[in-house]
Structure 1
Amino acid sequence: MEFHGRKTAHCYMDNESNPLQSPPRLSIRTHLDMYDQDPQFSPGSPPSPRSSASALQLMLPPGSPETPWTLSPLQTPSPALLYHCVASLHRQDGNIHSIAISKGLVFTVSDSKRIRVWRQPECIERGCIKTSSGEIRAILAYGNKLFTAHRDCKIRIWNYTVSDSFGYKKISTLPKRSSFLLFPKTSSQQHKDCVSCMAYYHAEGLLYTGSYDRTVKAWRLVDNKCVDSFVVHESKVNAIVVNQDDGCVFTCSSDGSVKIWRRLYRENSHTLTMTLRFQQSPVNAMAISSTFSNCFLYSGSSDGTVNFWEKEKTSGRFNHGGFLQGHRFSVLCLVAIEKLIFSGSEDTTIRVWRREEGSCFHECLAVLDGHRGPVKCLAACLQMEKIVMGFLVYSASLDQTFKVWRVKVMPEEQTCFDFADRNDSKTKTKTEYEMSPVLSPSWVEKKLRGNLFQ
């Protein structure tokens, strides 16, 4: 699908989606029954309740008789979060596999072999990079560089410029073509299966790529050379992150484990320092939250939980601190920014968690409900405001929609409450949000065929 001119995401608003509405919650069994009766069935969208809390009116856009901002459905003693879906884009490019943010731009990649470029925050489409190298499974942006991982097991590196118009140029392919000409069968630089994830260590200029072939490769971008290749798991690698403070590499896999790797001093090889395994469920996503005072690692599992580990200041070991429970199905993606954690799930929702300052306590501030298929990927960035912290959150679902959310979080000191209130809130949350997710019939069919995440 080609676009001409400068268009916003509102121009392609999904007719079945409305930022002020939430679709009815039906069970999977109900959807299966409806699918059997009519494959084209599409649930309606009755409006969800709007907030009228007077205490928050000062933070809302002035002059609006009906504000689009919505309070979280979670009932807490003091409202802590407002959110608003500002754009819902229904694409015909297929499923979006990855989202990246850099230099005020948002990049999305999908089944179409195209890289779509959007300008923040109004979601004006700035351009499109067409590739002929196969489906793009992952994208990473840093500075003026884009890294794209393709289904042909290669990585492309692009330079882009941001001015009146978006310009780009492919500057390299990893591994370099000469490697295949000299060693077409035995070269260790070539991944043997799909590259599923990437991470970039800024200080050393190292790009890490994880693959379904169970390996991780480290690429030195100064000369585009693969400097290390090592087997990390017993099953496919689903996510990889790097702690920018010390260069430690974290990998997770369908084998149910999270592993921590450290590059040996003045060498290119990596050694295993810890294996974190709390349960047998496959680990699909990770995020790291590192500040001067503490460091937390989060992992999302197929059992619907988000486990977290805290790093000891003295030994550097990661101790299991607990898990965040609320999603009904698999957690597929995670983003950590400031003290917030965003988790996207197969249950079609995005949960917003906040970590309390100086402790391991986390509370769920909101459940962003609007997708009708599993939330496959997330990205978020911070927008500072005078009174509250503002965030832009980008989500893509297997219902083939791309949504943009504005999230405003009240200062923590204005929403704190004692442990007795916390326990009451947990009980309320569990009982008030015990309902079934919305699943589109087309997604249910793919799920039953068992090839949804291939």
Structure 2
Amino acid sequence: MELEFCRRKSLFRVIDIDRNNVIESPPDLANIITNQQVYGDEDLQFSPSMSSSPHINTTMLTLMPPPSPESPWTLSPLQIPSPSLLYHCIASLYRREGSISSIAVSKQQGLVFTGSESTRIRVWKQPDYIECGCLKATAGEIRSIAAHGNMLFTAHKDHKIRMWNFSVTDHNFKAKKVSSLPKRSSFPLFSRFTNTKQQHKDCISCLAYYQTDGLLYTGSHDRTVKAWRLSNNQCVDSFVAHEDNLNAMVVNQDDGCVFTCSSDGSVKIWRRVFRENSHTLTMTLKSQFPNSNYPVNAIALNTSSNSCFLYSGSSDGTINFWEKEKLTHRFNHGGFLQGHHFSVLCLVAVEKLIFSGSEDTTIRVWRREEGGCFHECLAVLEGHRGPVRCLAACLEIDKVVKGFLVYSASLDQTFKVWRVKISPEQEMGFGCYVDPRSH
């Protein structure tokens, strides 16, 4: 199916806002008790559980789903599966805290973190996804979050990064803020100078952690990328990466290459100079779609022992992908994935699957054929009533089939958990594949 895109084609142009519309909660959803603990920015403190009050009346977009009366959770019915894929939404959360801007998963601890326009980072425990804790910062809304091991990194409205140490014992979540970046100077008279030199000048839109060297990368709308060494909490490099806002960033854990994308329509690859902290540009990638220079909103890296693929999602609804050559290490354009009707806002790659969230309110599940560039759209996950802003996914091993847990958040202020399972035939590579370049 071929799609035609207009430069300013946007879902927001077809949303009808009725500010006088009042939505009431449905009266018959079951109550689920949550054990909520709140951890402050400066001190550790506990607060009692706050349950959702019944029959909340509020003014909101007509797209917005109603909140549940007793609990934020509602279980959705099983979707009709495709022949090659079993999928359904196992939980859905709604809270009146503004849209969720970022999701991070700690697979080792079995936790999911969500950051929103409020000052709270909420913590959900697998497999029941009951809220088990909450981190509260005094610096305003959370723009981006990332998790590694027992560390959580959060970027805030004040253009700073907070680092948290967390643990889970006997279903009890504990957390404490350990540092801020840039850290405060030991000399108060010089603190302002230190922060001005190292701090971002605009919103921090993305975070990426490189485990080998203990480096945290931050990308901002001020068009710069900064590298922070966590052993001493120092900014070791800062460079202008793009001509417009940075929207997403990812690090290849195999070689340390940093991939950035921007509203200037490009994807860039950066490599650290040997035995130095500075970074140099190695490649600039742009969409090969005819007459296209749309903003790139998201990127994802899919690596294995045999291949390395880079995906980018653009505002025209297309997903470009590049394959890395084994000899030259250059990324060659492999084709397009088409299907979304509006902007692609988020991407995540796990194993052979790529998940894409779009302004058209849907999530598409793509599968790449092993050893080739052929891709197939296995399913379209529908359930959100607003643009899908952020995604996260992780592998879920089953005795019979391989499964994935997918976490999505939308501007409709809902957070959903999906279970996706591939049939043994599809896992073996059988099925009808679609060459994206043939569209």
TM over 0.5: yes
Cα distance change on mapping 1:128 and 1:36 into 2, 3 Å: closer
Deviates more, 1:179-188 or 1:316-325: 179-188
CA-to-partner distance for each residue in 1:200-227, whole Å, 9 max, x for gaps?
Answer: 0000000000000000000000000000
- Range 349-358 or range 184-193, more displaced: 184-193
Aligned counterparts of 1:340 and 1:168: Cα–Cα separation in 2: 33
- Secondary structure of 1:70 counterpart: coil
**Is 1:227 paired with 2:236?**
yes
> Would you say how many aligned residue pairs link Structure 1 and Structure 2?
372
Task: Show the 5 A alignment for 1:62-211.
Answer: 68-72=78-82, 79-102=83-106, 103-164=109-170, 165-178=172-185, 181-182=189-190, 184-185=192-193, 187-211=196-220
Mapped pair 1:377 → 2:386: no
Report the AA paired with residue 129 of structure 1: L
Return the offset for 1:386. Answer: 2.2
Normalising to structure 1: TM-score of the pair?
0.77
Confirm or deny that 1:318 pairs with 2:331: yes
1:242 aligns with 251
Q: Gaps spanning 5+ residues in structure 1: where? A: 1-26, 46-65, 73-78, 431-454
Structure 2 residues not aligned, in runs of 5+: 1-10, 24-60, 66-75
Q: Which structure has the highest helix share of the two?
A: 1
Q: What is the rounded CA distance, in whole Å, between the counterparts of 1:69 and 1:252 in structure 2?
A: 34
Matched, 1:399 2:412: yes
Tell me the alpha carbon deviations over residues 288-344 of structure 1, each in whole angstroms, 9 at most, x when there is no partner: 001110000011110001111000000000001011100000000111000000000
1:416 maps onto 2:430 in alignment: yes
Aligned to 1:289: 302
Question: How far is 1:67 from its partner?
Answer: 8.0
Q: Is the CA contact (8 Å cut-off) linking 1:150 and 1:195 kept in structure 2?
A: yes
Counterpart Cα distance in 2 of 1:30 and 1:169: 44
Distance 1:287 1:28, change over 3 A: closer
How many angstroms does 1:176 deviate by?
Answer: 1.0
Contact 2:406 2:420 in 1 (8 A): yes
Deviation at 1:273, TM superposition (A): 0.2
- Percent sequence identity over aligned pairs: 67
Conserved? CA contact 2:18–2:62, under 8 Å: no
**In 2: Cα distance, 1:30 partner to 1:375 partner:** 16
CA distance, structure 2, for counterparts of residue 121 and residue 368 of structure 1: 20
Q: Which has the higher contact order (CA 8 A, sep 6+)?
A: 1
How big is each residue's C-alpha offset from its partner over 1:13-35, in whole Å with a ceiling of 9 and x where there is no partner? xxxxxxxxxxxxxx988753x84
Deviations 1:202-253 (A, max 9, x none): 0000000000000000000000000000000000110110000000000000
Contact 2:336 2:437 in 1 (8 A): no
In structure 2, the partner of 1:330 is: 343
Task: Determine the structure 2 residue equivalent to 1:23.
Answer: none
| Equivalent position amino acid for 1:270 in 2 | H
Q: Which amino acid letter does the alignment assign opposite residue 257 of structure 1?
A: S
- C-alpha deviations, 1:26-64, integer Å up to 9, x for none? x988753x849968685799xxxxxxxxxxxxxxxxxxx
Q: Which amino acid aligns with 1:416?
A: F
Q: Amino acid of the residue matched to residue 78 of structure 2? A: P
Shift of 1:371: 0.3
SS at match of 1:223: coil
Kept in 1, the 8 Å contact 2:94–2:414? The answer is yes
Query: Structure 2 counterpart of 1:342, which letter?
Result: F
Which aligned segments of 4 or more residues in structure 1 are displaced greater than 6 angstroms? Answer: 27-30
Task: Report the secondary structure of 1:177's partner residue.
Answer: coil
Deviations 1:126-166 (A, max 9, x none): 11111111111000000000000001010000000111211
CA deviation after TM superposition for structure 1 residue 417, in Å = 3.7
Contact 1:80–1:415 (CA under 8 A) maintained in structure 2: no
Distance 1:228 1:198, change over 3 A: same
Query: Does the 8 A contact of 1:188 with 1:229 survive in 2?
Result: no
Give the CA RMSD over aligned residues: 2.5
Partner letter of residue 343 of structure 2? S
Contact residue 238 and residue 284 of structure 1 kept, 8 A: yes
Taking a change above 3 Å as real, the CA distance of residues 81 and 286 of structure 1, as seen in their structure-2 partners, is same
Counterpart of 1:347 in 2: which secondary structure? Answer: coil
Instruction: Give the 3-state SS of the residue equivalent to 2:385 in structure 1.
Output: coil
Cα distance in 1 for residues equivalent to 2:14 and 2:311: 33
CA distance, structure 1, for counterparts of residue 215 and residue 437 of structure 2: 43
Q: Decide whether aligned partners of structure 1 residues 115 and 181 sit closer, same or farther in structure 2, where only a CA change above 3 A counts.
A: farther
Change (3 A) 1:370 1:226: same
Distance 2:238 2:437 in 1: 45
Q: Equivalent residue for 2:279?
A: 270
